[in-house]
Amino acid sequence: MADKGNQPIGSMSTLAGALLALIMEAPGHGYNLAARFRHRVGPAFAIEPQAVYPYLNALYAAGLIDRQTASKRGSQVIYLYCANARTVTGYLEWLAAPLSREFSFRELVIKVTFSRPEDMPLLESNIDNFEQLCQDQITNSRRTMVNAGTWDAAMLNASRIAAVFDQRSKIEWAQQLREELRRAYREFVERRPPQQR
């Protein structure tokens, strides 16, 4: 179920996991789910509406969602996709899956964007995983720096230094994200009735 820029996580991509989250919130047809996805993530991670259909078909084939015929336009069937007994399990497996090295930032942003307050322990684990991937990249970049003295060596080092600064800024973002999520989670818990705490 991989698409360009959407690394698979086990058998599920970031888009497929986000679709499960959206379907858990409310049923929808493909175009509606794509619009809700776009609304939630904004323009940086927006998708074309037709991009969701292969994922919806795969999720349906895997038994993670149900679908009902909503209408027909000529020979085209419009389906309404709904949660079933396996949807939450699939969603939680996606949320718990480790981040890929190549697309970790995108995956973390999508997981956080489509999570629920009760998912906080899984989000904390994902943030820890993300920070470790960033730290590994910093270590690898520093390890591959060369002794300067030539133009080529300076250019190689420039790219390594850029990678270090990029990963440091991502670690800082992750730390701020963790604090923001913890604050929001505390407020969520405090608003719950005492018997549900």
Amino acid at 143: R
Same domain, 151 and 85: no
**pLDDT: is 93 or 194 the higher one?**
93
Of the candidates 16, 145, 131, 130, which has an alpha carbon nearest to the alpha carbon of residue 81? Answer: 16
> What mean pLDDT value characterizes the chain?
91
Q: Decide: helix, strand or coil at residue 70.
A: strand
Same domain, 136 and 185: yes
**pLDDT: is 163 or 3 the higher one?**
163
Residues contacting residue 127 through CB under 8 Å, at least 6 positions apart: 108, 174, 177, 178, 181
* Residue 104 maps to a domain: no
Which pLDDT belongs to residue 148? 74
The mean pLDDT of 155-177, rounded to a whole number, is 96
Q: In this structure, what DSSP letter does residue 97 have?
A: S
- First and final CA of the chain: distance in angstroms? 38
In sequence order, the β-bridge partners of residue 37 are none
Same domain, 123 and 67: no
Sheet strands (E) in 28-111 = 65-73, 76-83
Q: In this predicted structure, which of 80-94, 128-142, 182-196 has the lowest mean pLDDT? A: 182-196
The mean pLDDT of 131-138, rounded to a whole number, is 97
Same domain, 12 and 81: yes
Q: How many structural domains is the chain composed of? A: 2
Same domain, 127 and 169: yes
Same domain, 85 and 127: no
Give CA–CA dist 107/34, Å, rounded. 17
Domain that holds residue 44: 8-96
Residues contacting residue 106 through CB under 8 Å, at least 6 positions apart: 5, 6, 14, 45
The mean pLDDT of 89-100, rounded to a whole number, is 95
- Helix (H) and strand (E) counts for the chain? 7, 4
* Residue 88 maps to a domain: yes
Same domain, 39 and 82: yes
Is 21 exposed, middle or buried (CB count within 10 Å of its CB: 0-12, 13-18, 19+)?
buried
Which tokens belong to 16?
């497929």
* Residue 185 maps to a domain: yes
Same domain, 12 and 92: yes
**pLDDT: is 140 or 43 the higher one?**
140
Confidence tier at 197 by pLDDT (50, 70, 90): low
* Residue 147 maps to a domain: yes
Amino acid at 10: G
Question: pTM, whole model, 2 decimals?
Answer: 0.86
